Structure 1
Amino acid sequence: MTLVGTLGFCAGLLTSGAAVPQVYKTYKTRHARDISMWQLVMLSLGMLLWLIYGSMIGDLPLILANTFSIACYASLIAMKLRYDREDRTS
């Protein structure tokens, strides 16, 4: 692997991995009231555009990192919707 490819994979690991602690904490606490839905949606849409771009140019680090990140943020959106609804009914 080239230096550029290694750099891309390392950047993808760090930026994608940054979502994991928030997903874990939200799942464990069952609370998402302090998380902004707009931030989650805008970030997910931006990552979707990066994924499309990465697919168009055939850049594997971009494709893998953004696919993983979209999955993480989609789960956060789902938890936010669910837990916010549960907070309102209790």
Structure 2
Amino acid sequence: MLEVMGYTAGALTTLAFVPQVVQIYRTKSVKDVSLAMFLLFTLGVALWLGYGIMTHSFPVVAANAITLMLSFVILYFKWKYNRVNS
């Protein structure tokens, strides 16, 4: 039951970023995305990923690996679309 809870929590928190990625991709606008917040968030997710690896917690590793990739996509869009719209 605990594993199911971990996978469910990880899936929900990870999936929460998909609409933001899609929205940014569709609108090509990142003006309301805080760079400082996303940099801090991405660092936190990377640390959670490291924690999951060191504790051999697959739900933590899986969720944070995917979330880290989504965070990098948002940071890339922030860099790309800020340059285009500047």
**Equivalenced residues, count:** 86
SS in 2 for 1:35: coil
1:50 to 33, 48, 51: 48
Give structure 1 regions of 4+ aligned residues with deviation exceeding 4 angstroms: none
The TM-score, its normalising length taken from structure 1, stands at 0.94
Q: Which residue of 2 aligns with 1:79?
A: 77
The runs of 5 or more residues in structure 2 that have no matched partner are none
Deviations 1:10-56 (A, max 9, x none): 00001001100000000010010110001111001001000000000
SS in 1 for 2:31: coil
The TM-score, its normalising length taken from structure 2, stands at 0.98
Q: Of the two, which has the highest radius of gyration?
A: 1
Q: Which residue of 2 aligns with 1:32?
A: 30
The runs of 5 or more residues in structure 1 that have no matched partner are none
Question: How large is the Cα RMSD of the aligned pairs?
Answer: 0.4
